[in-house]
Amino acid sequence: MIVQLADIKKRLKENPEDEDILHLLKDLDYRKLKGHEIENLYRGLKKNDYNPDVNIAYLGNHTIEPLPRYVSVASVAQGLVTKEYVGTYNQHFQALLLPESDLFDFNPDIIFLSLTMRQLSPKIYASYLSLSDQERKEELDRVLKQFDDWINTAEAKTDANLIISNIPRPIYNQAGLADNMLSFGEREFYTELNSNLFRKYKKDSRVDIIDMDHVLSRTGRTGSLNQRMYHLAKMIWDESCLYEIAEEIIRHMRAIKGIAKKCLVLDLDNTLWGGVVGEEGVNGIKIGAGDPAGEAYQEFQHAIKTLKERGIILALCSKNNKEDVLEVFSRREDMPLCLDDFLVLEVNWDNKHENIKNIANKLHISTDSMVFIDDNPAECDLVRKMLPEVHTIQLPDDPAEYADLLRKLNLFEKSSITEEDRNKTQLYKQNAKRVKIKDAAANLEEYLESLGTIISIKKADHENIDRIHQLFSKTNQFNLTTIRYDQGNIIKFINDNSINISIVSARDNYGSMGIIGLYLVKTIEKKAVIDSFIMSCRAIGRGIETAIMNKIKKEYLIKGTLDKLEAQFIPTRKNTPARNYLSEQGFTRIHVNNNCEEMYCLDRKDTNLMPCPGINIEDQTWKETK
């Protein structure tokens, strides 16, 4: 379904309040829009005060417009509303340092910084050959220091995540070919500068460096850097590369906001291999080396496997005879993917949308965190219609395009890959074993004892920031308040002595589960307030949540000196599993406000520890076993 731009424009003009416009935009092929259409849509959208998902500020030492408009329109088309602040030309320090700067009122979630060498060091930019090696190195240090100073200031003065563009290399070297022979050549200068930036901020979870050369290479670097527009208006990028830069910023935005999809559901025939196994037979389908199509499918499978290694769950949804499919996986040796890579197999003749729902139920995830890929337009249409929240992708005709199509997707972006991500499929499989044991056990108590669960609770430190950010941003079900803190907040919590942010790891006879939960307790005078309490859904229902609360009770009320513990339950569409948790733990509900947010309280004198059979708590010094 292709939405007409004219229709959207008309509706924006007539009734900008119309919320449907946001939905219509999702079906718009925004990459086809021209610059003036972007401008017009942007202006139309800004007439309405949509509630922003992300506040993003743009600062730089060149004219950044019209990039923010591209980001804005492209992100609305992907379901994300942004609000932007565009700093004055070359005022990136002032925006942070002047007390009257309106950047602070804007309160950015993200600041994007782009600097050009023309301004940073005109000497390097224009007269590299007239400098001595000594001077070149001094300039390198000076430029790096400018980045560092800006980043340090931004980290101190704001809570924002910082997205920093590195510096693209000039398209031609000033020394020409002879640059290779210089003792400190221009190419070396830029390589050194950029790798220094990467190295320095690799561990800083608030800073993301964009490799701008890499981004611009997607459309071609020569066309990306526009001399004429720089002389006319101090713009450095050509219009033709703005979608790529915008797309890259949106990737970071998704990672920072933690809105990555969790599960990829795949069809089989003409998706993972060429041909229909039911007709062409196990040996007739095309997969693997020796045949161009077979190689393309193989490459696609490699790309899928990579996603699995990034922590994306894979599932199969195919209309086929299960025996045929099992045979393909056991007999075709040139398949990068094996059956073990998939957590759920729905191979049958039922409707695909029903099967996708089954997969979601089996994995305890919601359908809006799923991506479905199929080559058949009818299947895709039906899933789109029945489950619009699933991101459905119809494959193009040529399998040669499959792998890049997947690599280009920004739906699975995360800022980092944690230990838990790498072992995700494994973790789910262990869980499936636990469920089997549970079904076989005589009663719940016997089952819990047989698991031999050991948990460890410790104060969070900087090493855990990535995993903590994941838990805050992605846990929906067992989450009392669903407050989505970002990396900046988390660092503050860890550094603040009046705040206790603790993480819980668990393991049992079936293996280590990694970090499965956290709590955030603030002490305010004579009471402690549980601001957040989060558990990963694969750990709930076995008493771990009770053991954790017992620990909190001990720390604050039994051994501690506080009078009471307060907690809150903020209901969402998804967190019913946590609904009765606080009353089960002995808290009393004291207030419900107009938004149905429930306040709970537990007095020191009423405090009892609750039984949690089969759970052993290890000392805080326990190190996670890998």
Instruction: Please give the residue ranges that form the binding site for another protein (CB under 8 A).
Output: 34-37, 39-40, 43, 65-66, 228-229, 231-233, 235, 239
Q: Measured from the CB atom, is 187 or 234 closer to another protein? A: 234
Backbone angles phi, psi at 588, to 5 degrees: -105, 135
DSSP state of 511: E
The strand ranges marked E within 48-167 are 54-60, 82-86, 110-114, 161-165
Minimum distance of another protein from residue 64's CB (angstroms) = 11
Residue 245 CB neighbour total at 10 angstroms:
23
Backbone angles phi, psi at 457, to 5 degrees: -120, 130
Min separation Cβ 116 and another protein, Å: 17
Nearer to another protein, 66 or 108 (CB): 66
- CA 242 vs CA 247, 253, 255, 305: distances in Å: 8, 16, 20, 31
> Which pairing describes strands 263-266 and 207-210: parallel, antiparallel, or unpaired?
unpaired
- Least distance in Å: CB of 77 to another protein? 17
Q: Which is nearer to another protein, 70 or 519 (CB)?
A: 70
Q: Give me the residue label for tokens 């550094």.
A: 495
- Please, which residue, 35 or 278, has the CB nearer to another protein? 35
Contact 229, 238 (CB under 8 A): yes
Six token digits for residue 613: 């059979």
Nearer to another protein, 239 or 449 (CB): 239
Nearer to another protein, 101 or 226 (CB): 226
Evaluate the CA torsion angle 394, 396, 398, 404 in order and state its sign.
negative
| Structural contact between residues 448 and 506, judged by C-beta atoms closer than 8 angstroms | no
Smallest gap, in angstroms, from Cβ of residue 10 to another protein? 12
Are 457 and 475 in contact by the 8 Å Cβ rule? The answer is no
Residue for token digits 């998704």?
Answer: 254
CB 392, min distance to another protein, A: 31
CB of 513 to another protein, least distance (A): 54
Q: Classify 95 as helix, strand or coil.
A: helix
Return the number of the residue (67 or 154) whose C-beta is nearest another protein: 67
Q: In angstroms, give the least distance from the CB of 39 to another protein.
A: 6
Helix/strand/coil (H/E/C) assignment for every residue in 463-487: HHHHHHHHHHHHCCCEECCCCCCCH
Residue owning tokens 């900046």: 488
What token pair was written down for 57? 């500020």
Q: State the nearest-atom distance from the C-beta of 393 to another protein, in Å.
A: 29
**C-beta closer to another protein: residue 232 or 558:** 232
Q: What's the rounded Cα separation, in Å, for the pair 315 and 411?
A: 17
The least CB distance from residue 105 to another protein, in Å, is: 23
Identity of the residue, 65 or 291, whose beta carbon is nearer to another protein in the bound complex: 65
Q: What residues have CB less than 8 Å from 323, skipping those under 6 apart?
A: none
Report the residue number, 231 or 623, with the smaller CB distance to another protein: 231
Closest by CA position to 429, among listed 313, 330, 518, 306: 313
Q: How far is the CB of 239 from another protein (least distance, A)?
A: 5
Minimum CB–partner distance for residue 228 and another protein (Å): 6
Q: From 459, 561, 571, select the one nearest 504 (Cα to Cα).
A: 459
Distances (CA, A) of 238 to 38, 225, 248: 15, 6, 16
Closer by beta carbon to another protein, 235 or else 287: 235
Judge whether 455 and 544 are in contact, CB under 8 Å: yes
